Amino acid sequence: MSELHLTAPLTFEPFFVERMWGGRRLESEFGKKLPLQKRIGESWEIVDRPEAQSVVANGPLKNKTLHDLWTQHRKQIFGDAPEAPRFPLLLKLLDAHERLSLQVHPPGQFAGKLGGEPKTEFWYVAAADPEAELLLGFRKPSARDQFEKALREGTAADYVHKIPVRPGDAAFLPAGRIHAVSAGNLLIEIQQNSDTTYRVFDWNRVDDKGKPRQLHIEQALQCIDFNDVAPKLVEPQDELLVRHELFEVQKWNLAAPREISSKGRFAIVCCLSGSLRCGDAHLSPGEFCLIPASLPVQKLEPRRKGTSLLRITIPT
């Protein structure tokens, strides 16, 4: 692996994903330059997948992909991150202009045999309409055959636990948790590097050709945790929102300049509100930068009152 002299955080070009439930809120809320006349549901901000790559937007590594960084400069940029063929996280913005399907992601013990990838994720509610909800887990204990019958009858949503949300709320979704997102949510999603989703119900929607979207009921029923009843939103412990073997997320309210030390670990910063500067990276809401593990201590400087951010890393 070649030696590299890094002096500043890295920023990346976003990768936009069209979804039938998406809208234009990433443009109006976060200033993203979206493709014209497209319903953009997701902006993949930091991604290393065969079908999608983050590309460095600045500095000596400009135009390098995240996979290039992971394979050629791993120690300097990612420090003691766990061994993996690709960068193990995927960070995205999600605009639910319409509600998402009722779905589940596979736990590790089922993903391989079903031909998918395990996916545990975390959501931070960046913006929410007054009626916005997250659907998480079951309202009450449900048997598999009972839920399967409800799927056939189109009443599955009656079984799911609904939680009203407002900006600043957060949810942790272990693989196996049935879930959906109501219309009117703008989320920041931090997840395992996976794109495996098993849909069980899609509100009888059809695509632009009049066809219903594919469902994955058999796979989903193998993955759903039927004992997952009435889960709660994340209860912050001071600045810590979640610490899991896959990722750690903190929320910082930045009233004054603050140092962020790598200690041999990379960190990703996502601006939530206000405006901040880190080295030569200037971040507005919905923008991310990656602070390489080999950089000296960096200073985060708020540029506006009410600046806040998420700090994301992988625990060692």
Residues 129 and 201: their CA atoms lie apart, in Å, by 23
Residues 241 and 166: their CA atoms lie apart, in Å, by 16
Q: Where are the alpha helices (DSSP H) in 239-305?
A: none
Catalytic residue chosen out of the listed positions 49, 99, 199, 265: 199
Is residue 194 a contact partner of residue 104, using CB atoms and an 8 Å limit? no
Is residue 156 a contact partner of residue 200, using CB atoms and an 8 Å limit? yes
- Do strands 240-243 and 133-138 pair parallel, antiparallel, or not at all (unpaired)? unpaired
* Triad 55, 195, 251: Cα angle to 5°: 70
The kind and range of the H/E element at 227 are none
Tokens of 18: 């069209």
Residue type, 101: S
- Do strands 298-302 and 258-260 pair parallel, antiparallel, or not at all (unpaired)? antiparallel
Q: Under 8 Å CB-to-CB from 56, ≥6 apart: which residues?
A: 10, 11, 12, 62, 63, 64, 65, 66, 69
Mark whether 199 is an active-site residue. Answer: yes
Q: Which residues are catalytic?
A: 199
